[in-house]
Chains A and B, each alone.
Chain A
């Protein structure tokens, strides 16, 4: 009770008076108090029958909790992901039972694979109706178990504080992930029988993520690193999640090891850093992929050797010893056997490794990457950036990168434009590439972009979206218009599901099976939602178009009509070894 008084007193002295009149909170009110205690100031949601008591409680908290009303629950989930990834906080969604919950499954599955902390509060029918196929009843625990980090059904208002404290702790600690709270209507509306005593969880008995690595792990890793002739660092999303950018820089500068980034690790190292050699994987750079076959020690930091990075795993870094720094022990040896596993937080591990590693000079080895860059530049980049005919996706991203000095936060959708955005944007600041990496969720970018903008309002947020993806969550334009968030959206329109078309061209004999789209007039649609925009169809007006988009006060849609049948290269064909990367 004392703690409850403190919380309330700190917020509003008048609330203490209220306490005398109504001694105990409802479950829904306790939920709001839990959000405040966890310093949640922004949530994304959509009301409905089984969550109404919570929305009613929210009405009394609108001065303290900013609720963004989305147009579809999937939008709430992706927005919360974007928010979490730029703010470093836990993203919170509030939706109703049944379809509200099932519409949230895609973002939950996206968040588990991309390690994004979410707390999803899902309404549920009254507990006496559970299992009766009641209206809008879905077994949310059953359907979310395979795709969430933790879930729990609250059926008693007294459970709210302890469970929510646990939920937030689990979502943000260790390897972050989504937590689902299935909140029955009677637990929301019912009164607690005790005062609120919210205590943040700092430890759980059955879940103890290791932050500080073991000494013997560090010693073995340092020994491998110090004796390496051609060491090579793979930077993953874990570096960004743990905020280890400075520690990584210090480590890289002392050891002089070249480092490449995974897709989600992009922007953890500034692109102009002399040790940064590029991007790994299927559409990554030429040298970064080929030289994996030359390295003698791989230092993988906060990454999980996704099949898009390894290609044919039986031919991937077989010659190298592997140091694997990773917070999740289940990732060790899962895909690639680690000679020196270091289980711990990337930041803590790099901090602890720094004094153990020798100052070194690997300039000759680093320069080998540059030789490949020359070839890639000549065969691909220059052609993409100085083309004739239709505008190419690459030149749009490249120009945007120059105009924003590489300092914008890029939210990409899924497909060719996602790869082009990753290739041609010159990231200078961390947390600047927000995309659905693991799940590859088309439709991610519109909702994630306004979430990203809310998570870091001072940054310029530009969403790069394909014409196919745009139509998957197009209704969220309404959310952007209503919230007035200055999100800039660029549609790279080639009238195709470009990545699938590219595969059909290269691997299915150009049999274009259902990849051509008859698109609507996107700019008119945006105008219908109250969002300004225009179409750019000519190279001559591209620069001015980007300026117009950036200068516009408020959200803006720029549609760029691009080359219809453009392919993304380099490319490691699926199932091939990374060394067999194709340049054309």
Chain B
């Protein structure tokens, strides 16, 4: 399925900024969250219609940033050798809302969830400590609407996880 969707982007030379796939609260229904940048709404709408053409696709929704709530998660592996600059855990927790999720003698792993900007801000703060590894997920998004997305799906006897 993933290939069927992504080739529509590559064929049109449109870059996928990030992609997140997970099963929804309905059994057998997966949700793809695809982030793309484009300055022409029309072109995005054309692409949306092409994605709708894939036989297995139940529905496609397009959101602008301001129409949705979204987050990413990032993990930072920071070196903590002897005599290195001490990590200010209080600032990390209280100012940056980031958490140490794992530690060993000579490194820690800090988790930071938030928008790209918030993650980047924390990146800049923590960089002087020496980042051994940095990984960021794609976005997960919900629309700023009172309905859930699955409510728009065709009527059927769905099985729920919840």
A contact residues vs B (CB 8 Å cutoff): 142, 145-146, 149-150, 170, 204-208, 328-330, 332-334
What is the CB-to-nearest-CB distance from B22 to chain A, in angstroms, rounded to a whole number? 18
List A contacts of B42 (CB < 8 A). Answer: 333
**Would you mind naming 23 contact pairs between A and B with Cβ atoms under 8 Å apart?**
A142-B3, A145-B4, A145-B7, A146-B7, A150-B55, A204-B55, A205-B58, A205-B156, A206-B55, A206-B56, A206-B57, A206-B58, A206-B154, A328-B53, A330-B46, A330-B49, A330-B50, A330-B52, A330-B53, A332-B49, A333-B45, A333-B46, A334-B49
Q: Which residue of B lies closest to A203 (CB)?
A: B154
Q: A334 CA to B42 CA in the complex, in Å?
A: 9
Q: Does B11 contact A (CB under 8 A)?
A: yes
B11–A146 touching, CB < 8 Å: yes
List A contacts of B3 (CB < 8 A). Answer: 142, 145
A329–B55 touching, CB < 8 Å: no
Q: A206 CA to B153 CA in the complex, in Å?
A: 9
What is the CB-to-nearest-CB distance from B108 to chain A, in angstroms, rounded to a whole number? 40
List A contacts of B50 (CB < 8 A). Answer: 330
Q: Which residue of B lies closest to A166 (CB)?
A: B55
Q: A332 CA to B46 CA in the complex, in Å?
A: 9
In the complex, the 8 A-B pairs of residues with the closest C-beta atoms, listed nearest first: A330-B49, A150-B55, A206-B58, A207-B55, A205-B154, A330-B53, A146-B7, A330-B50
Known: A205-B154, A329-B49, A330-B49. A149 touches B55 (CB 8 A): yes
Q: A208 CA to B53 CA in the complex, in Å?
A: 10
Q: A207 CA to B53 CA in the complex, in Å?
A: 8
Q: A149 CA to B42 CA in the complex, in Å?
A: 24
Q: Which residue of A lies closest to B156 (CB)?
A: A205
Q: Which residue of A lies closest to B59 (CB)?
A: A206
List A contacts of B45 (CB < 8 A). Answer: 333
List B contacts of A142 (CB < 8 A). Answer: 3
List B contacts of A332 (CB < 8 A). Answer: 49
List A contacts of B154 (CB < 8 A). Answer: 205-206, 208
Q: Which residue of B lies closest to A149 (CB)?
A: B55
What is the CB-to-nearest-CB distance from B153 to chain A, in angstroms, rounded to a whole number? 8
Q: A466 CA to B13 CA in the complex, in Å?
A: 36
Most chain-B Cβ atoms within 10 A of its Cβ — which of A146, A170, A208?
A: A146
List B contacts of A329 (CB < 8 A). Answer: 49, 52
List B contacts of A334 (CB < 8 A). Answer: 46, 49
For window 41-76 of B, CB contacts with A under 8 Å fall at 42, 45-46, 49-50, 52-53, 55-58
What is the CB-to-nearest-CB distance from B50 to chain A, in angstroms, rounded to a whole number? 5
Q: Which residue of A lies closest to B11 (CB)?
A: A146
List B contacts of A145 (CB < 8 A). Answer: 3-4, 7
List A contacts of B53 (CB < 8 A). Answer: 328, 330
What is the CB-to-nearest-CB distance from B157 to chain A, in angstroms, rounded to a whole number? 11
Identify 17 new A-B residue pairs, CB closer than 8 A, beyond the known A145-B3, A206-B58, A208-B154.
A142-B3, A146-B11, A150-B55, A170-B55, A204-B55, A205-B58, A206-B55, A206-B56, A206-B57, A328-B53, A329-B49, A329-B52, A330-B49, A330-B50, A330-B53, A333-B46, A334-B46
Contact with A along B4-17 (1 / 0, CB 8 A): 10010001000000
What is the CB-to-nearest-CB distance from B28 to chain A, in angstroms, rounded to a whole number? 10
